[in-house]
Amino acid sequence: MVKHDVASLRLAGEGRRRIEWAAKSMPVVATIRERLARTRPLRGVKMSCCLHVTSETANLLVTLRDGGADVRLCASNPLSTQDDVAASLVRHSGIPVFAVNGENRQRYYRHIDEAIAHHPAVTIDDGADLVSTLHSRRRELLPGIVGGTEETTTGVIRLRSMEKAGVLAYPIVAVNDSQTKFMFDNRYGTGQSSLDGILRATNLLFAGSTLVVCGYGWCGRGVAMKARGLGANIIVTEVNPVRALEARMDGFRVMRLVDACREGDVYVTVTGDINVIDRQHLVAMKDGAIICNSGHFDTEINKVALAALTRSKRELRRSCVEHTLRSGRHIILLAEGRLVNLAAAEGHPAMVMDMSFANQALAVEYLLGNRGKLEPRVYKLPDGIDARIATLKLRTMGTTIDKLTPEQAAYISSWQSGT
Ligand SMILES: NC(=O)c1ccc[n+]([C@@H]2O[C@H](COP(=O)([O-])OP(=O)(O)OC[C@H]3O[C@@H](n4cnc5c(N)ncnc54)[C@H](O)[C@@H]3O)[C@@H](O)[C@H]2O)c1
């Protein structure tokens, strides 16, 4: 048995069935897997992956392994690991996995160390915890790294800040910045799965409820759009005037969070920021307000302020804790303020992760194909790769689109024709 630290290998059978179920909705990744297995371009390449350990991630990992890669996996969040999937990857795929749902901070970082101990040539990260660990505590491994990929908005922001400070030691492809990633995964994936997390934790009726969405980025747009579909009244809060204007013209009410606190029944933060729901908001919310976060880190709700205001707390349901405040009012915190879609539900549906992970697999190939040619900077995948993924996805959905005629191609790229 390969080296591992998972909750229980007895869960492997259930994990395998769920991985196979996800695979049915991941035809683009399957096409890439079939090609990589035939050509083995990743032969012998050591990869350390820090990702949410879900059934979709399992399909990416076996794709890379079939391409010849020697992969190791740890979790990118202490609460997002699906223990049955982790067990199946170890037992059925022979992949070393270090991830246990509910692990504390110390064990979380010990698991990152285990993934790094592999001496990777490629890193695959979600949130940049693995990359920042390498740059702070394991610097001796940096010269051996060809490149890395980053899955999410917050990770890309951290890496760009490392690049700007001149400390990034190797090239990284920002998978998040591909159109076939952020327009679908962040919007439709986070939109649907965040509501799924709220529903599983509360069994709330959205129809008629007032839902406050903090942040109208790609994720926030998705949450607002899907909740409207279920009949909720939506309030959006923003700090960016263009995004706020867009929310207004999309038909949502827009106001300051402190004003929204008089009305909101449920609050979802999706900003990537810190203390968005702060003490002043917690004290202004209605009795029984439900708060949760779907941004990458559990920094968006000021949990220290909530703890200071709390007289007692009790778990009402799984991922649903009621805080009784000293004032006598109640605030319900879901999933400890961590990604509600992954901690209280199963994360994004495989149908969107198909595109995100197609980008991941092709980004790894791109990095290896350009070995020695890239600088230690954050790169976007070439537009051609995005278009290829979209074309493949459409084909698997049975959709055919028109092609430019030679006349049209010449016309839309010229300046001569006018009125
Ligand atoms: N839950 C998931 O599975 C999942 C999936 C993808 C991304 N994410 C994470 O979700 C977060 C948002 O990602 P995104 O792609 O939507 O980013 P984005 O940059 O497109 O949008 C974030 C928005 O939040 C706004 N904002 C910042 N501070 C704010 C504040 N104090 N109040 C109100 N609005 C504020 C910004 O102006 C911006 O419009 C990131 O942390 C990202 O990593 C989570």
Rounded distance from Cα 217 to ligand 1 centre (Å): 5
- Helix (H) or strand (E) segment spanning residue 300: none
Beta strands in 64-215 (DSSP E): 70-75, 97-98, 122-125, 147-150, 172-174, 210-214
**Which atom of ligand 1 is nearest the CA belonging to 294?**
1
152 lines ligand 1 (CB under 6 A): yes
C-alpha to C-alpha distances, 205 to 26, 184, 190, 233, 341, nearest whole angstrom: 31, 26, 19, 12, 17
- Beta-bridge partners for 269: 214, 293
Q: Comparing C-alpha atoms, which of 197, 171, 195, 165 is closest to residue 80?
A: 197
Which tokens in the block code for residue 98?
A: 């270090």
- pLDDT category, 419, cuts 50, 70, 90? confident
222 lines ligand 1 (CB under 6 A): no
| Cα gap 397→391, rounded to integer Å | 10
Rounded distance from Cα 232 to ligand 1 centre (Å): 21
Beta strands in 8-56 (DSSP E): 46-51
Q: Comparing C-alpha atoms, which of 309, 252, 249, 251 is closest to residue 278?
A: 309
353 lines ligand 1 (CB under 6 A): no
Residue-wise pLDDT for 123-134, tens only, equals 999 999 999 999
- Helix (H) or strand (E) segment spanning residue 334: strand 330-334
- The span from the first CA to the last CA of the chain, in angstroms, equals 72
272 lines ligand 1 (CB under 6 A): yes
215 lines ligand 1 (CB under 6 A): yes
Residue-wise pLDDT for 288-328, tens only, equals 999 999 999 999 999 999 999 999 999 999 999 999 999 99
Residue nearest to atom 10 of ligand 1 (CA): 295
Residues in the chain: 419
Which tokens in the block code for residue 212?
A: 């406050």
Which tokens in the block code for residue 128?
A: 């940049």
How many CB atoms lie under 10 A from the CB of residue 200? 19
| Cα gap 39→34, rounded to integer Å | 9
| Cα gap 337→299, rounded to integer Å | 8
4 lines ligand 1 (CB under 6 A): no
295 lines ligand 1 (CB under 6 A): yes
pLDDT at position 418 is: 85
pLDDT at position 417 is: 83
- pLDDT category, 122, cuts 50, 70, 90? very high
269 lines ligand 1 (CB under 6 A): no
- pLDDT category, 343, cuts 50, 70, 90? very high
The residue written with tokens 């204007």 in the block is 245
Virtual torsion, Cα 45, 48, 53, 57, nearest 10 deg: -30
Rounded distance from Cα 273 to ligand 1 centre (Å): 7
Find the largest Cα–Cα distance for the chain.
73
